[in-house]
Amino acid sequence: METKLVKAADSVLDEAANILKRGGIAAIPTETVYGLAANAYDVEAVRSVFRAKGRPQDNPLILHIGSTEMLYDIAESVSPLALRLAESFWPGPLTMIFPRKPHVPAETCGGLGTAAVRMPNNAFTLKLIERCGFPVAAPSANTSGLPSPTSAAHVMADMNGKIPLIIDGGECRFGVESTVICFEGDDAVRILRPGAVTPEMLREYAHVAVDSGVLEKIDPGARVLSPGMKYKHYSPNAEVYILKGDTGSVSRFLKNERMNKTAFLGFGDEDIPDDVTVFPYGSTAGEQAENLFASLRAADAAGCAVVYVRMPETSGLGLAVYNRLLRAAAFRTIDTDGGSDAVL
């Protein structure tokens, strides 16, 4: 199949909508990462998304909506808290989990009785969903396991020949996937996946628990609230290590421990030996979220064998960066202050 790459514009809305209406797939831009879109109500279309990604069948898809009416077509019930959060954070990077109505296919939801729903904040994609008239199931548009795509070029690298259309909406604003929450009673939420809607922001509206799976390894056989948390994720081919320590000790580590084809993602204040290849990262969680996936992909493209990445903050948006980095690194962490290997 030939994969066409077109710029996001009103002139391509019809073409993209027709592909989705006929049960096909198109890659779409969002403010988080690129998505692989299909009609969420069409079981065959949803199956072809799982195939294109190589995604495990039990890892459910997020349903992207263009209006609050679509939420009521999916969710069996919507609590006053959910409605308040929708009013405050949609369109935006917050995914909420609801009991699903019977007509929402089990295949879309990984066989669960719930559906994950969000309204993305991208003008083209909102128009596209409205034109389709159905919610669009859209996982990240990468091959399952690889770093998520934050540009159309990343999507092309993974999906060329597998899907008919990629809509190029430029670089994603946030660069990490949405925050996923479920509800615990009337006034509490649990964060299953951290994102740009932070625990601190949600605390304005509800009691907030952060699920232990966000920062801890999950046993592959374990029953979890969000199946996506089980899988090794976001990983380039290179081996990724997290460097935990201050600037001085990280600089000393790089001087002593670098090897052939070492890549480094740092805050910008380190001493870096000439033979270490530096990729964009940054000193704020916002910059790190924007750069992490693109730099992991770039390190692979440059043939790097090892990527060292400095440990981000663990509050605010930093929690989302750290959650993705832990999985990219398969939890391998080196304590440069301590001088010895220490796994969290």
Say whether residue 119 binds ligand AMP (CB under 6 A).
no
**Are 337 and 249 spatial neighbours (Cβ–Cβ below 8 Å)?**
yes
At its nearest, how many Å lie between Mg ion and the CB of residue 314? 21
Nearer to ligand AMP, 12 or 166 (CB): 166
Q: Note the helical H segments in the chain.
A: 13-21, 43-53, 68-74, 80-89, 123-132, 152-159, 199-202, 247-257, 285-301, 318-328
Distances (CA, A) of 294 to 155, 214, 280, 324: 11, 22, 8, 13
Q: Which two tokens stand for residue 134?
A: 């159905």
Nearer to ligand AMP, 91 or 228 (CB): 228
Buried b / exposed e along 182-192 (16+ C-beta atoms within 10 A): bbeeeeebbbb
Out of 122, 226, 235, 336, point to the residue binding ligand AMP (CB under 6 A): 226
What does 114 interact with, of Mg ion, ligand AMP, none (CB < 5 to 8 A by kind)? ligand AMP
Counting beta carbons within 10 angstroms of the beta carbon of residue 178, is it exposed (0 to 12), middle (13 to 18) or buried (19 or more)?
Answer: buried
Residue with tokens 């052939």: 260
Contact positions with Mg ion (CB under 5 A) in 107-146: 140
What does 46 interact with, of Mg ion, ligand AMP, none (CB < 5 to 8 A by kind)? none
Contact positions with ligand AMP (CB under 6 A) in 163-202: 177, 180, 192-193
Say whether residue 139 binds ligand AMP (CB under 6 A).
yes
Nearer to Mg ion, 243 or 321 (CB): 321
At its nearest, how many Å lie between ligand AMP and the CB of residue 225? 6
Out of 37, 85, 115, 250, point to the residue binding ligand AMP (CB under 6 A): 115
Nearer to Mg ion, 15 or 171 (CB): 171
What string of DSSP letters covers 247-258? HHHHHHHHHHH-
Out of 12, 40, 70, 97, point to the residue binding ligand AMP (CB under 6 A): 97
What does 112 interact with, of ligand AMP, Mg ion, none (CB < 5 to 8 A by kind)? ligand AMP
In 3D space, the residue among 316, 291, 320, 304 whose CA is nearest the CA of residue 215 turns out to be 320
Question: Residues in contact with ligand AMP, total (CB under 6 A)?
Answer: 21
What does 175 interact with, of Mg ion, ligand AMP, none (CB < 5 to 8 A by kind)? none
**Cα 161 to Cα 337: distance, rounded to the nearest angstrom:** 47
Nearer to Mg ion, 240 or 306 (CB): 240
* 22 DSSP assignment: T
Say whether residue 235 binds Mg ion (CB under 5 A).
no
Q: Which secondary structure element, helix H or strand E, spans residue 95, and what is its range?
A: strand 94-99
- Which of these segments, 56-64, 72-80, 237-245, 295-303, binds ligand AMP (CB under 6 A)? 56-64
Nearer to ligand AMP, 135 or 266 (CB): 135
Out of 66, 227, 245, 266, point to the residue binding ligand AMP (CB under 6 A): 227
Out of 8, 17, 25, 61, point to the residue binding ligand AMP (CB under 6 A): 61
**Are 313 and 53 spatial neighbours (Cβ–Cβ below 8 Å)?**
no
What residues form DSSP beta bridges with 97? Answer: 116
**Are 206 and 80 spatial neighbours (Cβ–Cβ below 8 Å)?**
no
Which residues of this chain interact with ligand AMP, rule CB under 6 A? 59-62, 97, 109, 112, 114-116, 139-140, 177, 180, 192-193, 225-229
Which residues of this chain interact with Mg ion, rule CB under 5 A? 140
